[in-house]
Amino acid sequence: TRKVVIDTDPGIDDAVAILFALASPVFEVVGITTVAGNISIHTVTGNAGRILALVERSDIPVVEGAPEPLSRKGIDTAEIHGDDGLGGVAFPEPAAAPLEGASEWLAQTLLASPAGSIDILALGPLTNIARLVQDHPAAAQRIGRIVAMGGAVDERGNIGPRSEYNLAADPEAADIVLRAGLPLVLIPLDVTRKVRAGRDYLARLRSSDSTPALVSADLIEAYFQSGGESRPLHDPCVMLYAERPELFGVERIALSLDLGDGPDAGALLRDAEGGVAAEVAMRVEAAGVLDLLAERLAGR
């Protein structure tokens, strides 16, 4: 197994991703750190606790992180994820109180473990990880690798014409993480838009009697309310890549970020001067990853 911290702003697709990680034998989830993103920080922190309570894993610490981006105003997405962040799907209340101070907790946890032994699976804006890099650089160097959902390389954006939510919500944080020289795999919209759940997939999840599969079906169904016949499963792709990288095609691409104030703030610029090379997932075997997701959620 691989030790991971999940940094997240749940979030419907975050919730499905967390349920997958908890169901997979490949990951030992050592903690969940939260970051303001889709919804306010207290709501996403509560949601992390609710997800853990659902699957009786409240032994895993939830650590509340950044209440806002490093220097900008946050971008709320309640119209997609619902006011509660979980599309109105019923969850039990958290069974344990959260801790506070995600970047400090990350630093302590990394310093207390062998270097390289903990990965970060990042599903939201990169504020907490940027804080870790800035305030605790020696601890940050001990991260095994970061696998982060974010960006659009050749795809159109989902916030601006070229910008994707997680990077657009805190472009300065994304820039700090990109330039930190840490092993980073980015999972952009170029692949997550190809990993889609439609009605048939919901039926497949519902043919199981396992709680993670049934609740994931309800979450994805709630996600349909923001339109379309199928919905992209953005954040689960991070876990799916971490478990089964051979289902993805990764390229090394020089990237930089648009740090301006226009509609494409946070957009990735490919091969621009001053770009930093990162591993970027650009292709995916969608049927294979959807099979893996359904199997794990069903408890197989």
β-strand pairing of 27-34 with 62-64: parallel
Measuring CA to CA, which residue among 67, 61, 136, 135 is closest to residue 99?
A: 61
Residue from 4, 5, 7, 13 in contact with ligand BDR (CB under 6 A) = 13
The number of residues in the chain equals 300
Question: What is the DSSP code string of 246-271?
Answer: GGEEEEEEEEEE--SSSTTTT-EEES
Shortest reach from residue 163's CB to ligand BDR, in Å: 9
Residue 190 engages Ca ion in binding (rule: CB under 5 A): no
In the complex, least distance from residue 243 CB atom to ligand BDR, rounded to whole angstroms: 18
Can you read off the two tokens belonging to residue 83? 């006011």
Catalytic site positions: 234
Using CB under 6 A as the binding rule, whether residue 77 contacts ligand BDR is answered as: yes
Q: Which of 47, 234, 247, 280 binds ligand BDR (CB under 6 A)?
A: 234
Question: Applying CB under 5 A, which part among 86-94, 105-113, 118-126, 179-187 lies near Ca ion?
Answer: 118-126
- Residues 292 and 276: their CA atoms lie apart, in Å, by 32
Which of Ca ion, ligand BDR, none sits in contact with 140, Cβ below 5 to 8 A by type? none
List residues bridging with 88 in a β-sheet: none
Nearer to ligand BDR, 31 or 124 (CB): 124
Write the burial class of residue 255 (CB in 10 Å: 0-12 exposed, 13-18 middle, 19+ buried): buried
Among the candidate windows 9-17, 88-96, 128-136, 138-146, which touches ligand BDR by CB under 6 A?
9-17
| Distant-in-sequence, close-in-space partners of 207: CB < 8 Å, separation ≥ 6 | none
Binding mask 21-60 for ligand BDR (x = CB under 6 A): -----------------x----------------------
Binder of Ca ion out of 63, 123, 184, 268 (CB under 5 A): 123
124 binds Ca ion (CB under 5 A): yes
Rounded Cα distance between 28 and 167, Å, is: 27
Closer residue to ligand BDR (CB): 208 or 243: 243
Q: How far is the CB of 174 from Ca ion (least distance, A)?
A: 14
Q: Mapping DSSP to helix (H, G, I), strand (E, B) and coil, where does residue 196 land?
A: strand
| Contact stretch for ligand BDR (CB under 6 A) within 11-19, 39-47, 135-143, 201-209 | 11-19
Q: Give the one entry of Ca ion, ligand BDR, none that residue 164 binds, where binding means its C-beta sits below a cut-off of 5 to 8 angstroms depending on kind.
A: ligand BDR
Pick the closer one to ligand BDR by CB: 103 or 166.
166
Phi, psi of 54 (to 5 degrees): -55, -40
CB 69: neighbour CB atoms within 10 A?
24
Among the residues of the chain, which ranges form H helices? Answer: 12-23, 41-54, 78-81, 102-111, 127-135, 137-140, 165-169, 171-178, 189-192, 199-206, 211-223, 236-243, 286-297
User: Which of Ca ion, ligand BDR, none lies near 256, with the C-beta cut-off 5 to 8 A by kind?
Assistant: none
Does 166 bind ligand BDR (CB under 6 A)? Our answer is yes
Q: Which residues bind Ca ion (CB under 5 A)?
A: 11, 14, 123-124, 235
